[in-house]
Structure 1
Amino acid sequence: MAKHDEQIQKRMFIGVVWNCAGELKLLLSALLFLCSIITLVQFFPARDLRDCASLSPPSAAFDLVSDTVTAPTEVQYKKIEDVVVNNGLIKRNFNGYGSAAYNFVLMSAYRGGGDTFAIVGLSSKPLQLFSKPTYVCQWIPHHATVDKENITVAGYKILPDWGYGRVYTVVVVNCTFPYPVGADGSGGRLVIHASTSGGGDTNRDLTDTIEALTETPGSFDASQLEAPPKYEYLYCGSPLYGDLSPQRVREWIAYHANFFGEKSHFVIYDAGGVHRDVMEVLRPWVEKGYVTLQDVKEEERFDGYYHNQFLIVNDCLHRYRFMAKWMFFFDVDEFIFVPKETTIKNVTDSLSGFTQFTIEQRTMSNKLCYLDDNPGRIYRKWGMEKLVYRDTKRGVRRDRKYAIQPRNVFATGVHMSQNFKGRTTHKTDGKITYYHYHGTISERREPCRQLVNVTEKYVDGTPYVVDTTMRDAADAVKRFEVRTIGQVLLKTRQ
C-alpha cells in the first residue's frame, strides 16, 4: 500500500512539473541571469556606480587627475543681436563661429630662376571654385637701395589637381618679376598677398600676407641654376601610407636602384606608411645615398585628394628641379622596364627632344602565381618572380605614368603634366613600359591566392598569359642588392 502511495505522489509531481514547464523555465532563466550579474559586479572597480550616470557636458573639459570640470574657453566674438529699425522692420543678423577651410596653406616655396619663384600650397576648394582669389607677389630686399627697391607683381595661379580636391585643392603660384631679384646673393624675402576677393563671406575681402621664402645674404648662388644636374634620374612618388609590405618595398627599391644606376636618387614622402619594418628596408639605401626620406604626415590634417598626392609631387618637382636631368613619377607597386637590348639611358637620350613622355602600363595579376617545378619554395620567392600572369584584355583604357625634364615644367600631376614648355610624346610603345602589381604593396601577407601551371587562364572573364619578363630579372636584382648593401635584408618578411 505504501509503495502504491509513493507511485501516486511521483506521478502527481511529474504532472505538476509538466504543466508548469514554461513558468519553471522562466524562473530558472531569471536565476541564471541574476547569478551572472552578481559574478560580473565582482570585477567592477570599487567606485560608486552612480558616477556612471554623471556625464560631462560636451563643451566642458574634464580633468582626469582631479575629476573636476574646467570652464570652457571664453567666447572670442560678441554676438550681434537682431535690431528693430524704421517702421518696425526687424533686421536679422547672422553670427559665424569657428573657421572654414583656410585661404592658403603654405607648404614650400622655391626659386625657379633669377627672376622667378614657385609657391606650393593648398587652398579652400569652394573658394577656388566659386570665387576668384588673387595672389600678389612681393620681393623685399634685405637692404633696400635705389637699385634694389621693393617690387610687386601679380602671381599666376595654377590648379594642377584637375578638380579632384576635396575640402582643399592644390595651388601653385608662379611669381615672375620683370628682372632678376636677389640674384647677386644680397638676400631678401618673398612675400605673397593672398586675397579671397570676397569669396566665402562677401562682406569681407580678406587678404593674408604670407612670408613664403627668406634668403639670407650669400645663401643663393645664381650659378647653381645653370650647373649640370647632380642626378641623371630622380624619382618623385606619391606619399606612402598604410601598413605596407616591407618585402614588396625591398623588391621595388632594389630593382630600381639597379635599373636607374648610380646617378639616380629616390625621394620618398612618408604619410604614415614608413613604419618600423619599412624603415629597416629603406635605411641601408638612405645610408648609401640612394634615398631621401621626408616626413609629411602633417599634411593629413588637410582633407585633400588621396593624401594630397598632387601637393607632394609638386613640392618634389620644384625642390629638386635643378638637381635632376630626368624626373620620373610612378608608384611603389609599379616597375619600370626597357627591353634587354637597350638601356634606360638609350631610351631617355632618344627622347631628349621632348619635355615629357608617358609610359605604357602592363597590368599584372595580384593573385595568380605560377607553379613551377619547385612548388615547395614558391612562397620564399620574391613577388616579381611568382606574380607572372599579365592581363591581356583588349579595349581597356589603362593609366600611364610619365617622366619629365623638370627645368621646363611649371606644375605637375600624378599621371602627366599639363603645365610645361616644349613637347610631349605618348609614342613610347616598345621603348619603355611599366609592370603594375596593383594592391600588392598594401597587404602584409602572401600575395599568391591561386597556384596554376598553365600559360593562359581566364579569371572572372579576364584573360591572362604568362609573362616572365620581371621574373627573369630577379636574380640580377638580388645579386645587386647583396653587392651594394650586403646581406642586411635577407631576413625581410611580408
Structure 2
Amino acid sequence: MAKEKDQNTKEHKNLLISLLCNFSSELKLILMAFLVLCTLATLLPLIPSSFSISASDLRFCISRISASDSVNSTTSVVKNPPESDNADTKPPLNDKTEPLNGVTKRTFTGYGWAAYNFVLMNAYRGGVNSFAVIGLSSKPLHVYSHPSYRCEWIPLNQSDNRILTNGTKILTDWGYGRVYTTVVVNCTFPATKIINPKNSGGTLLLHATTGDSDRNLTDSIPVLTESQNSVDFSLYKDDSDSDSKFDYLYCGSSLYGNLSPQRVREWIVYHVRFFGERSHFVLHDAGGISEEVFEVLKPWIELGRVSVNDIRDQERFDGYYHNQFMIVNDCLHRYRFMAKWIFFFDVDEFVYVPVKESIDSVMESLKEYSQFTIEQMPMSSQICYSGDGPARTYRKWGFEKLAYRDVKKVPRRDRKYAVQPRNVFATGVHMSQNLLGKTYHKAEGKIRYFHYHGSISQRREPCRHLFNDTRIVFNNNPYVLDTTMRDIGLAVKTFEIRKIGDRLLRTKQ
C-alpha cells in the first residue's frame, strides 16, 4: 500500500516539472511584471507631491497618438493648402527690424472680421433690366470707409455674354444703425439691355468690396437665380398695376417681446374689415409671435388674409430694432408688383377714415401721389372710460375702453405712411426718401391713425384707472374723451363672428 502511495507522489512531481518546463517563458513574464510593480510601489512614496499625471494629460497624449495615426493612415496629404483669395497672409512684425535713417517701420496685421461685409436677406427683380438686393453690412464700414458694389448677370446659356454694371447703394436707416446697417443695392443695367430676354435663366452676382486701399477684398455673392421660363415680363409693363393681386398690402415691422394675444386679435380683425377683401397682411416674427398669438392669427392665415415670416435668425446680426429697416425693405420689394398700395404702421396703431368716407374713396383721391403720410392720434394705454359701468367696461375690447386722447401740444408726432410701391426704390419706418413722384403730408382730413402706445405688450387688463369725464388731467397731461374707435367696436366684433365664428372668444389678455 505504501509502495503505491510513493509511486503516485513521484508521478505528481514529474507532471509539475513538465508543466514548468512547457510554460517557462510565460512564467518569466509574470515574474518580471510582478517585480516592476513591486519596484513602483517602493519608489512612488519617494516622488515629490508636486509631480502628478492627470486624466487630462492622459487624454492629451492619447489624442496626439490618434491624430498621428489618422494622418499616417490618410492616402493623400495636402502639404500646402491653397490660400484663400481674401486672405493675404503677412508675417508678424520682426522686433529686430533695423531703423532706416533713424525711423523704425511698424506694421499692422489684421486677423478675422469684426462684422460681415454683407449679410444677404434676398434679391428681387425690379424690372426688365433692374434688380434690388436687400441685406445688412457693417455700419462703421459705411460711415468711415467707401465700400462699393458691382452687379453681374451670368446667363445660364454659356454662349451668351455676361453683363456688368455698377450697383447703387441706398442706406435707409437714417443713422439708426448699430453694428449693422441696412443696405439696399440697386442693380440697373443699361436701358438697351433686357436681362434674360429669352427667359432662359441665369444668376445675378453681387461683388461687394470693402474699400480697403491696401487690399482688393471682394466677396462675390450669388444673390438671385432665375430658372428657365420663370420670369413674367408682363408684370413690368407701365399699366400692369391694374392687374395687381392686392389693392392694399400691409408690411409689418419686426414683432418681438411678449405680445398680448387679445390686442393682436383686435388689431387684425379691425384691419381685415377696414381694408376689405382685396387686402393682405404680412407679419414678421422676431420672437413676438408666441403659440397663443399664432392661434389668434391662424384663422386668418387659413383664409389667405395673413402671411407670417419667421425672421428670428436675423437676431444674430445686431441692427436697429431687430433690423426693422431691412425687414420693411424686403417686404416692399417682395410685393412691389403685387399691390397697388403698401401701408407701413405698427400693431398698436389703428388706421381710420371718416364715417362718410371709405378707404377706396380716400385712396382714389390720393392716387396722384407716390406717398402720403398719416397723422397720429395719441391715445392713453392705461386710462379707460367707464360710461357703461366698471363691470361692462372690463369686458370691452381695448380700443373700445381706451378712449382718452392725449391733447398735449408738441412740436411734432411720428407719422406713418403708405406708398405706391412701383415708384419706390427703398423705404424707412416713418416714410420713404427714395422714390419717384410726389409726397403728400396734409391728409389728416382724409385719414388718421389712433396710437395705443405700449398696449400690445401688456399681458394684463389695460385699464389702470377709470374715469367718466369728457376732459381730465392725468399725470399733468391733458386728455379728452374720443369715442371714434369705441363706436366701431360692435361692427368689428360682428364681422369677426361672421368670418371665423366664435373660435377666438376665449382669447387671453
* TM class, shorter-length: 0.7 to 0.9
Q: Give how far 1:92 is off.
A: 4.3
Whole-angstrom distance in 2 between the partners of 1:454 and 1:374:
13
Whole-angstrom distance in 1 between the partners of 2:390 and 2:219:
65
Q: 2:446 aligns with which of 428, 431, 444?
A: 431
> Hey, what does 1:217 align to over in structure 2?
228
Q: Give how far 1:376 is off.
A: 1.2
Whole-angstrom distance in 2 between the partners of 1:361 and 1:104:
36
Determine whether 1:328 maps to 2:348.
no
Determine whether 1:409 maps to 2:409.
no
RMSD: 2.0
Determine whether 1:420 maps to 2:431.
no
Whole-angstrom distance in 2 between the partners of 1:396 and 1:480:
38
> Hey, what does 1:171 align to over in structure 2?
183
SS of the residue corresponding to residue 469 of structure 1 reads coil
Distance 1:114 1:385, change over 3 A: same
> Hey, what does 1:467 align to over in structure 2?
482
Give the unaligned 5+ runs of structure 1: 1-61
Whole-angstrom distance in 2 between the partners of 1:489 and 1:407:
37
> Hey, what does 1:150 align to over in structure 2?
162
Is the 1:166–1:305 contact (alpha carbons within 8 Å) kept by the matching residues of 2? yes
Of 264-273 and 225-234, the range deviating more from structure 2:
225-234
The one-letter code of the counterpart of 2:226 is E
Whole-angstrom distance in 2 between the partners of 1:287 and 1:429:
35
Q: Tell me the TM-score normalized by structure 2.
A: 0.80
The one-letter code of the counterpart of 2:182 is V
The one-letter code of the counterpart of 1:110 is Y
Whole-angstrom distance in 2 between the partners of 1:454 and 1:70:
79
Q: 1:457 aligns with which of 472, 478, 489?
A: 472
Query: Which deviations, in whole Å up to 9, do the C-alpha atoms of 1:47-81 show, x marking residues without a partner?
Result: xxxxxxxxxxxxxxx9xxx9xx999xxxx989714
Distance 1:81 1:70, change over 3 A: farther
> Hey, what does 2:504 align to over in structure 1?
489
Is the 1:82–1:93 contact (alpha carbons within 8 Å) kept by the matching residues of 2? no
Whole-angstrom distance in 2 between the partners of 1:184 and 1:463:
65
Is the 1:183–1:221 contact (alpha carbons within 8 Å) kept by the matching residues of 2? no
The one-letter code of the counterpart of 1:152 is L
Is the 1:184–1:221 contact (alpha carbons within 8 Å) kept by the matching residues of 2? no
Query: Which deviations, in whole Å up to 9, do the C-alpha atoms of 1:363-421 show, x marking residues without a partner?
Result: 00011001123321222210011000001112341110000000110000000000010
Q: How does 1:441-456 map to 2 (within 5 A)?
A: 441-456=456-471
Query: Which deviations, in whole Å up to 9, do the C-alpha atoms of 1:262-298 show, x marking residues without a partner?
Result: 0000000000000010000001100000001000001
Q: How does 1:93-104 map to 2 (within 5 A)?
A: 93-104=107-118
Aligned residues, how many?
420
Whole-angstrom distance in 1 between the partners of 2:221 and 2:454:
40
The one-letter code of the counterpart of 2:223 is A
Is the 2:151–2:204 contact (alpha carbons within 8 Å) kept by the matching residues of 1? yes
> Hey, what does 2:150 align to over in structure 1?
136
> Hey, what does 1:31 align to over in structure 2?
none
Q: Give how far 1:163 is off.
A: 1.1
Q: Give how far 1:183 is off.
A: 3.5
> Hey, what does 2:387 align to over in structure 1?
372
Distance 1:370 1:70, change over 3 A: farther
Is the 1:252–1:332 contact (alpha carbons within 8 Å) kept by the matching residues of 2? yes
Of 215-224 and 297-306, the range deviating more from structure 2:
215-224
Larger Rg: 2
The one-letter code of the counterpart of 1:306 is Y
Is the 1:402–1:416 contact (alpha carbons within 8 Å) kept by the matching residues of 2? yes
Determine whether 1:271 maps to 2:286.
yes
Determine whether 1:80 maps to 2:95.
no
The one-letter code of the counterpart of 1:103 is N
The one-letter code of the counterpart of 1:215 is E
Whole-angstrom distance in 2 between the partners of 1:112 and 1:78:
43
Distance 1:87 1:162, change over 3 A: closer
The one-letter code of the counterpart of 2:202 is G
Q: Give how far 1:162 is off.
A: 0.8
Determine whether 1:208 maps to 2:223.
no
Whole-angstrom distance in 1 between the partners of 2:464 and 2:215:
59
Q: Give how far 1:97 is off.
A: 4.0
Give the unaligned 5+ runs of structure 2: 1-55, 65-86
> Hey, what does 2:272 align to over in structure 1?
257
The one-letter code of the counterpart of 1:209 is S
Q: Give how far 1:173 is off.
A: 0.4
Whole-angstrom distance in 2 between the partners of 1:487 and 1:149:
60
Whole-angstrom distance in 1 between the partners of 2:63 and 2:417:
56
Q: Give how far 1:232 is off.
A: 0.4
Is the 1:183–1:220 contact (alpha carbons within 8 Å) kept by the matching residues of 2? no
Q: Give how far 1:82 is off.
A: 2.3
Determine whether 1:381 maps to 2:396.
yes
Is the 1:184–1:222 contact (alpha carbons within 8 Å) kept by the matching residues of 2? no
Is the 2:99–2:105 contact (alpha carbons within 8 Å) kept by the matching residues of 1? no
SS of the residue corresponding to residue 489 of structure 2 reads helix
Query: Which deviations, in whole Å up to 9, do the C-alpha atoms of 1:447-487 show, x marking residues without a partner?
Result: 11101111100112211000001011111110111111111
Of 84-93 and 107-116, the range deviating more from structure 2:
84-93
SS of the residue corresponding to residue 484 of structure 1 reads helix
SS of the residue corresponding to residue 254 of structure 2 reads coil
Is the 2:380–2:404 contact (alpha carbons within 8 Å) kept by the matching residues of 1? yes
Whole-angstrom distance in 2 between the partners of 1:163 and 1:87:
45
Whole-angstrom distance in 1 between the partners of 2:411 and 2:144:
35
Whole-angstrom distance in 1 between the partners of 2:99 and 2:304:
78
SS of the residue corresponding to residue 319 of structure 2 reads coil
SS of the residue corresponding to residue 220 of structure 1 reads coil
Identity %: 60
